[in-house]
Amino acid sequence: MKNLSSQQLSFILMVTAMCCLPGMDAMAKYLSQTMPVMQVIWFRYLGQFLVVLCILSSSLRASVKTNNLGTQLLRSVTLFGTTICFFFSLKFIDQGQAAATFQVAPLIISLLAMLFLGERLGVKKYLGILIGFTGAIIIVQPQQFYFSAFALLPLLAATFYAIYAVLTRSLGEGDDARTTLFYTTALGAVVTCMMIPFVWVSPSTIAEIAAIAVMVTLASFGHFLLIKAFQLNGASDLAPLNYFGLVFALLWGAFLFDETPAVTTLIGSVMVVGAGLFVMKVYVESK
């Protein structure tokens, strides 16, 4: 590791994070088969919130203070909505299909940035976004007679996530990163703690307890690696590696749930990922 440049190390950290986070989703999918999805979300949020509290323990009072409380809370709500929609989708559809549909998030971010942040798209970006959404439609297949509305949940999750990203970008340097980190998990932890007495089902097997521990560990470790990677390298250099998350999601689904991606999922995935990389390339070239 000592001989690696900071750029090389950031790539390794980013790819490792992209393996951990779909692993967290896989554990959530496994747990949602035997317990309420909101309880799974509670485990995920509470576990990560406790880790955040440990990280911020020496500066917690300063981290809570914000001059943008409304934006921070709205941002937290949209991330919470992302988690709810995506975790519920995992209960009913394949992990690979959910992850592939979710990859339209960067394209939605581009649209919202144009509408609310005044960023210009241009013809090439419009073309990329159109191709990406066409790929998403191919994955979801709404024209099929066996179409399930649950297939739309990852698309809704991607929309929530795009709003979350735009709100985060709109904060700029208004709040310290520690403040934003605190509010990212705090609202979800508080809301799910209020709901958990009404949905609680006690874990009944060692496998469930182990899955909960693995889910929380992968979530915390994955986000820690993301933070470290972005500290070592620029966002534009690391952004394409986000698509490794789709590859690992397909692998987790195949390994744990014996999922075989449909041809339409693979074709749509190539279109969505290709469109996202194209839009990203156009954005970098315009800088």
pLDDT of residue 283: 67
Of the pLDDT bands very low, low, confident and very high (cuts 50, 70, 90), residue 215 is very high
Q: What is the DSSP string of 217-282?
A: HHHHHHHHHHHHHHHHS-HHHHGGGGGHHHHHHHHHHHHHH-----HHHHHHHHHHHHHHHHHHHH
Least confident of 74-78, 153-157, 241-245: 241-245
This prediction has a pTM of 0.84
Q: Helices in 65-176 by DSSP H: which ranges?
A: 69-92, 95-102, 105-116, 122-140, 153-171
pLDDT of residue 145: 45
Question: What value does the mean pLDDT take over residues 255-263?
Answer: 87
Neighbours of 130 (CB within 10 A): 12
Q: How many CB atoms lie within 10 A of CB 117?
A: 11
pLDDT of 231 strictly over 70: no
How far is residue 70's CA from residue 175's CA, in Å, rounded to a whole number? 12
Burial string for 203-214 (b: 16+ CB within 10 Å, else e) reads: beeeebeebbeb
Average pLDDT over residues 129-153: 74
Range picked from 92-106, 136-150, 269-283 for highest mean pLDDT: 92-106
pLDDT at 197: 94
Higher pLDDT, 171 or 12: 12
165-196 pLDDT tens trace: 888 777 766 677 778 888 888 999 999 999 99
Rg of the chain on CA atoms, in Å: 19
At 207, the pLDDT band (50, 70, 90 cuts) reads very high
* Cα 141 from Cα 37, distance rounded (Å): 25
